[in-house]
Amino acid sequence: MKDSHSKAVVLLSGGLDSSTTLAIALKKGFEVHALTVRYGQRHHAELEASRRIADYFKVAGHKMIDLDLRTFGGSALTAPIEVPKDRSLQEILTDIPITYIPARNTIFLSFALAWAEILGAQDIFIGVNALDYSGYPDCRPKFIKAFEKTANLGTKAGVEGRKFKIHTPLITMTKARIIKKGLELGVDFSLTSTCYDPFQDGAACGRCDACLLRLKGFAEAGLTDPIKYLHEA
């Protein structure tokens, strides 16, 4: 347990993983400051979910920062390219998909670092996962470790000895394990949003990589996902 004055910045997308990560940071006793990056997504379901989760857990602070990654183009999540559907688990877990966003976690962690330094926080939480990780290189432990080193060399706080730590509590968990952990810590998964391509009313597609991994996780945990799907998998 940290003393009650330790602040942490938690990257919160509003999905299952980041919501569970936030609950873990709270459980560890941190005063949580949630950071959501609006990066030119084609939908706003995730942003609304992040607001619901921040409210639900009554976090000390929640900031949304705008970044228009569409300026650079190059990803199905920010540019007008079709989100892939109905891929096999084999494909999902081995290829780097078209939904890959160049340098995404490097950018997100940089923002979290800036805010942490201003808040006087040394702890940053990110819900990356190297197991069900959809092939994203910036979800791997060695990337996180390299970023942590960069953070400590590139900031006034780091140089002055207030070292930053990047916490990745989910990094080796299966999706099923993450879901069980979240439930144990009181996460209401009906508030979360994971789908890459949700319908207007916020219903998940059930067919994109993110939905397929989420549904697989609930199935393996022996649980039913409380969110609404238009195409049940």
Q: How many CA atoms lie within 13 A of 221 on its CB side?
A: 21
Q: Which residues bind a copy of itself (CB under 8 A)?
A: 63, 65-69, 71-74, 96, 100-107, 110-111, 113-115, 117-118, 137-138, 140, 142-143, 146-147, 149-151, 153-159
DSSP state of 206: S
Of 48, 221, 210, 220, which is closest to residue 229 (Cα–Cα)? 210
- In angstroms, rounded to a whole number, what is the distance separating the alpha carbons of residues 208 and 197? 7
**Given the complex with a copy of itself, which of 62 and 207 has the nearer CB atom?**
62
Phi (first) and psi of residue 55, to 5 degrees:
-65, -45
Q: Residue 12 burial by CB count (10 A; 0-12/13-18/19+): exposed, middle or buried?
A: buried
Least distance to a copy of itself, CB of residue 120, Å: 10
Angle between helix 16-27 and helix 45-56 axes, rounded to 10 deg: 20
Nearer to a copy of itself, 143 or 189 (CB): 143
Terminal Cα-to-Cα distance of the chain (whole angstroms): 40
**Which position has the token pair 């084999």?**
90
Min dist CB 65 to a copy of itself, Å, is 5
Provide the 10 A C-beta neighbour count for residue 232: 8
138 or 225: CB nearest a copy of itself: 138
Task: Locate 33 and state its tokens.
Answer: 């400051």
Which residues are registered as beta bridge partners of 38? 66
Smallest distance, a copy of itself to C-beta of residue 91, A: 16
Q: Which is nearer to a copy of itself, 102 or 226 (CB)?
A: 102
Q: How far is the CB of 232 from a copy of itself (least distance, A)?
A: 32
Cβ at position 180, least distance to a copy of itself in Å = 29
Q: State the minimum distance, in angstroms, from the CB of residue 220 to a copy of itself.
A: 28
Nearer to a copy of itself by C-beta: 58 or 142?
142
- Pick 5 or 156: Cβ nearer a copy of itself: 156
